[in-house]
Structures are given as C-alpha cells and as structure tokens.
C-alpha cells in the first residue's frame, strides 16, 4: 500500500517525524517485520540512511529490534505507538526546557548577548521594523514588547481578540504593572466579557469602545505593532502585523487612542 503525500504530511505533523522516518515507519507497518535493506527498497530511502532512521524510530518507540543476523525490526501496533510517542515527546519536551533554562546563566548566553549588542549598535532606530506572520508569533512579540516596556503600554483590540490576549499576556501585563508601567486597554465588549474586564482592571485602565476600530499596540510612545487583517476573517496562521520603531506613528496612534 503506497501512501499519498498528504497522508505522509499528516503523519509527520502528528507524530513529530521527518519525511525519511515516516517513509521507513509506514514501510515497516506494511511488512510487520523487515530488514533495513528491505525497508530501504520499499520506501525509497537511501540504504545508508535506513539504519540511522530505524535506530531513531526504535528510540522513539515506533519499532523493536529483533536480535539475530541479519538484524530485523518489528512493527509496533499503531495504537501502542501513540502511547509511546506521547511519553517520548513529553520527556523530550521536559529535557529541552531544562536545557534552555540552563542556558540563561551560562557563558553561551553571554556570547549570544554580546553578538546581539554588537548588531544593535549598527542599527538605526528606523531600521527596527518588520512583518510578523501568525497569531502565535504576534502574541509572542506583544509579550516581548510589554516585557521591555518602561513607561506605558497602549493596547487597542476587538472583543474576541481581547479574550485571547488576556489568556496569553495576563502575567506579562501584571509584571509590567508591578514595574510601574501604565497600562491602558480599549476594546468593544459585550455581556460575555464582563468578567474579563474585571480581571483587566487589576492591572490596567480599561475603556470600552462602541465599535471595532482595529488592533494595535504602542509601547513607550514609539514601539508600535499594528495588525493588518480582520481578526474574524483571517486564519490564525495568516494573521499579519507590522512592527516598527517610530515616534511619529506612535504619537499618531496614541492621539487616536485619546480621542476614543
């Protein structure tokens, strides 16, 4: 049974495998038990790579090595693979987080900071601009802007996006409030958002709007992020924003906020 490219793509996404791993795994499933050479021929994966890939699949819980000559691999039932893959991913995720945490106070972080600071010195303020794609990336960048705020955060959004922003950024906004940053948020709200507004009032000045006027954020008067798409009409993966460092743009948006 030959699987089409869409199915292979789904398997890669759901199981966290690369293309060669998916091809070897599905070939093994179709055989039940097989050697690396046979699986290479069936899948079209180079023989030189088949051994490494089978070792990887064994480590992740997708196959079992049968001792003997020649070495063969036995397929694991797909239902069991899901349970094993979940455990492997959870362990791998915890280990990656630990490794990242350990970097914070290491010499490697000092080196990275030196590289960044050297690069920043070359940049002009007007060069701090770029396009950000994807709603998760936009939320992450908003968090970055707010974490670096020194005086003020002005955030304008719509009702549905407000729920999302509070869930993702509440701790960051609370942290900014504790640092003495003034936080002002405006959005149209209905009955469903009443509890949300009460949560916001703990760390922000909130102003209800009569209608949706778009989404933007201004930090310290010049650090600006403007979302270009309609929140409801665009798929989260294609949501787009423009980030820039511009006092004139920041001043104009703050004036618009004041007029609201």
Summarize the confidence of residues 147-157 as an average pLDDT. 93
Domains of the chain by residue range: 5-77+86-95, 129-259
Summarize the confidence of residues 68-90 as an average pLDDT. 88
Share of the chain above pLDDT 70, in %: 95
Per-residue pLDDT of 82-141, as tens digits, reads 888 888 888 888 999 999 899 888 888 888 878 777 765 655 655 567 889 999 999 999
Q: What is the per-residue pLDDT for 198?
A: 84
Q: Counting every residue, how long is the chain? A: 260
Fold topology of 5-77+86-95: Arc Repressor Mutant, subunit A (1.10.10)
Domains 5-77+86-95 and 129-259 share a fold: no
Q: What is the pTM of this model?
A: 0.63
Which CATH superfamily includes the segment(s) 129-259? Answer: Endonuclease Chain A (3.30.870.10)
Summarize the confidence of residues 192-221 as an average pLDDT. 87
Who's near 85: CB < 8 A, 6+ residues apart? 15, 16, 60, 61, 62
Q: What is the per-residue pLDDT for 185?
A: 92
How does 52-69 read in b/e, with b if 16+ C-beta sit within 10 Å?
A: ebbebbeebbbbeeeeee
Which one-letter DSSP state was computed for residue 236? G
């Amino acid at each position: 049974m030959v699987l089409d490219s869409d199915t292979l793509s789904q398997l890669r996404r759901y199981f966290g495998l690369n293309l060669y791993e998916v091809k070897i795994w599905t070939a093994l499933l179709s055989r039940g038990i097989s050697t690396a050479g046979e699986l290479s021929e069936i899948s079209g994966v180079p023989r030189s790579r088949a051994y490494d890939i089978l070792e990887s699949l064994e480590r992740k819980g997708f196959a079992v090595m049968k001792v003997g000559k020649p070495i063969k691999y036995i397929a694991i039932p797909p239902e069991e693979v899901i349970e094993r893959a979940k455990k492997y991913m959870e362990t791998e995720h915890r280990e990656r987080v630990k490794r990242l945490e350990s970097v914070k106070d290491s010499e490697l972080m000092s080196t990275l900071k030196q590289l960044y600071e050297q690069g920043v010195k070359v940049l002009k303020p007007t060069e701090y601009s770029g396009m950000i794609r994807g709603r998760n990336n936009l939320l992450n960048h908003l968090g970055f802007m707010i974490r670096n705020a020194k005086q003020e955060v002005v955030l304008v959004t719509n009702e549905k996006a407000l729920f999302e922003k509070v869930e993702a950024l509440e701790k960051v906004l609370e942290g900014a409030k504790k640092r003495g940053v003034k936080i002002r948020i405006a959005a149209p709200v209905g009955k469903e958002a009443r509890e949300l507004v009460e949560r916001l009032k703990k760390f922000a000045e909130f102003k209800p709007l009569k209608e949706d006027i778009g989404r933007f954020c201004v930090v310290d008067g010049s650090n600006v992020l403007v979302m270009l798409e309609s929140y409801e009409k665009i798929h989260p993966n294609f949501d787009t924003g423009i980030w820039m460092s511009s006092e004139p743009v920041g001043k104009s948006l703050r004036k618009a906020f004041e007029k609201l």
